[in-house]
Amino acid sequence: MKDIMKIRKLTKRQSALVDTLVATGCTVKKAAHEAGYAQGESGRVSASKTLRLTHVQEYMMQRISETMGLNATVAAARVLTLAQRAKSEYVQLEASKDILDRAGFKPIDRSQVQIAGDIRVSIDLS
């Protein structure tokens, strides 16, 4: 993580702000306090400005991607467990369909409708 801070020129406070937000999902105000920004409204404003900086946003997206990747295995295991052991057959069906979709066995989304026949309109103005 130190290499990331060096390359992107993140300060320790900026990385702490992002890490706190990603890890806890708390408010910007609380994350700012945890990361060492000034207390109160001025800390929240400073943290909000910091979060708009391009290199800080890039770091945040990287941290979110890492976190999502790590938790994807937990989510996949949960869907598999639901498909196998859920009490509701509807839940089992939906979990099974989700597994099949992700494995590449998704049903065709489009439907084809053919209409055969002649349409005639006759207008009598008499």
Q: Taking Cα atoms as reference points, which of 63, 23, 32 lies closest to residue 50?
A: 32
Longest dimension (CA), the chain: 89
User: Any idea which of 31-35, 36-40, 44-48, 51-55 has the lowest mean pLDDT?
Assistant: 36-40
pTM (two decimals): 0.62
Question: What pLDDT score was predicted for residue 122?
Answer: 81
Q: What is the pLDDT of residues 58-87, one digit of tens each?
A: 999 999 999 999 899 999 999 999 999 999
Question: What pLDDT score was predicted for residue 44?
Answer: 93
Q: What is the pLDDT of residues 88-110, one digit of tens each?
A: 999 999 999 999 998 988 877 77
The fraction of the chain above a pLDDT of 90, given in percent, is: 67
Q: What secondary structure, in 3-state letters, does 39-107 show?
A: CCHHHHHHHHHHHCCHHHHHHHHHHHHHHHHHHHHHHHHHHHHHHHHCCCHHHHHHHHHHHHHHCCCCC
